């Protein structure tokens, strides 16, 4: 269980809060808008009305006691930067900030963010990949180079073992799991036999996966 500070309780912040609570984390939500705090209060561990660009207010919270601080202020560029900077200045262990665009992302990183989320950009890439290919069913970006893809198994691979296929050697792609009837099997060995009716979860670069699976 982690202790999380959530700054900004708009629509995206509320979605993050829901997921964090589902994962049994402790969440303190902070927002200048009383209505937002009233909406989120029944969901989170605690909630406070306050201005996180105010150093005294942030100090009173004790930001260095939280494992992660999320800054989900999206409608005020300056406030998101100032809050991010103050959190790091006051000793926050990890600051994850939400950005609206690439420029916003760059400034957040320069102002102390340890990581930046650009929801629209990431969703756009996910949609472009998953809905323009008959072979890709899901996609999770790991970093600028590698992603995890859920792909169909080509008919030509039916009955062939993972070792004989050798896609790691040929394409630099790792088979992480086989998905059959919505259940995952992660006990993959060179002797695992592939079935064209199942899906694979593979880790690799977009370029390599597109080439290997003819995407």
Q: What are phi and psi of 136, to 5 degrees?
A: -110, 130
Per-residue pLDDT at 206? 86
* Spatial distance between the Cα atoms of 151 and 142, rounded to a whole number of angstroms: 16
Q: Where are the domains of the chain?
A: 3-117, 122-212
Q: Is the pTM of this model over 0.85?
A: no
CATH architecture of 3-117: 3-Layer(aba) Sandwich (3.40)
Residue with tokens 């790691």: 168
Give the orientation angle of helix 102-110 with respect to helix 77-89, to 10 degrees: 20
* Spatial distance between the Cα atoms of 75 and 8, rounded to a whole number of angstroms: 10
* Spatial distance between the Cα atoms of 164 and 152, rounded to a whole number of angstroms: 18
Eight-class DSSP state of 50: -
Eight-class DSSP state of 72: -
Using an 8 Å Cβ cutoff, are 83 and 96 in contact?
no
Domain 122-212 fold is: Alpha-Beta Plaits (3.30.70)
147-178 burial: b if 16+ Cβ within 10 Å, else e = bbbbbbbbeebeebebeebebeeebebebbbb
Residue with tokens 């306050």: 50
Per-residue pLDDT at 172? 93
Provide the β-strand partners of residue 202.
Answer: 149, 175
Residue with tokens 């029944």: 42
Per-residue pLDDT at 124? 81
* Spatial distance between the Cα atoms of 95 and 84, rounded to a whole number of angstroms: 7
Per-residue pLDDT at 72? 94
Per-residue pLDDT at 108? 94
Q: Give mean pLDDT in consecutive 10-residue pieces for the chain, a chain of 215 residues.
A: 93 91 95 93 94 94 95 90 96 94 91 89 78 82 86 93 92 93 90 93 90 82
């Amino acid at each position: 269980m982690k202790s999380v500070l959530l700054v900004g309780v708009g629509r995206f912040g509320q979605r993050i809060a829901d997921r964090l609570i589902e994962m049994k984390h402790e969440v303190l939500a902070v927002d200048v808008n009383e209505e937002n705090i009233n909406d989120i209060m029944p969901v989170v561990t605690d909630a406070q009305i306050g201005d996180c660009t105010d150093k005294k207010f942030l100090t009173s919270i004790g930001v260095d006691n939280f494992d992660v601080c999320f800054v989900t202020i999206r409608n005020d560029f300056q406030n998101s930067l100032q809050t991010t900077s103050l959190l790091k200045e006051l000793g926050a262990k990890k600051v994850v900030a939400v950005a609206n665009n690439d420029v916003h992302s760059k400034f957040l990183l320069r102002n102390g963010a340890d990581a930046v989320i650009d929801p629209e950009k990431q969703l756009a890439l996910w949609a472009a990949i998953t809905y323009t290919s008959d072979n890709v069913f899901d996609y999770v970006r790991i970093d600028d180079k590698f992603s995890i893809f859920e792909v169909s198994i080509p008919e030509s691979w039916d009955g062939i073992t993972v070792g004989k296929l050798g896609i790691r050697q040929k394409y630099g792609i790792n088979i992480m799991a086989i998905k059959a009837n919505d259940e995952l099997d992660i006990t993959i060995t060179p002797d695992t036999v592939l079935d064209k009716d199942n899906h694979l979860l593979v880790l690799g670069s977009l370029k390599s996966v597109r080439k290997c699976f003819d995407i």
